[in-house]
Amino acid sequence: MMQSDNCRCPHHGFTKLLRVLALIAGVLFFWTMWRDATVLGFGSTAYLEQFGVLIFAILAMRGGCKCCCGDKHCSTCPVK
């Protein structure tokens, strides 16, 4: 399991950003689906696709940091 609470690796910050964007896309998906409306010109299908792409990107980045979650520790990630 990843221990990145105090990690300063750039990819952890990027992963947090992707999580926020996925949350927003998920909320907008449900909003546009229930209201049968568009937000910024996109319907529910577009937000569902964006949510899926963001989730796959988050999952692809999960195994990338051996310095925080693996058995090796490197100098790029000062976990406190």
73 occurs within a structural domain? no
Q: How far apart are the first and last CA of the chain?
A: 16
Residue 1 confidence class, pLDDT cut points 50, 70, 90:
very low
41 occurs within a structural domain? yes
52 occurs within a structural domain? yes
The span from the CA of 4 to the CA of 2, in Å, is 6
What total number of domains does the chain contain? 1
48 occurs within a structural domain? yes
The span from the CA of 65 to the CA of 58, in Å, is 13
51 occurs within a structural domain? yes
Residue 10 confidence class, pLDDT cut points 50, 70, 90:
confident
User: Structural domain of residue 56, as residue ranges?
Assistant: 10-64
Query: How far lies 53's CA from each of 9, 20, 25, in Å?
Result: 22, 13, 10
Q: How large is the average pLDDT for residues 42-62?
A: 87
| pLDDT per position as a tens digit, 21-49 | 999 999 999 989 898 888 888 888 899 99
User: Of 2-16, 27-41, 48-62, which gets the smallest average pLDDT?
Assistant: 2-16
78 occurs within a structural domain? no
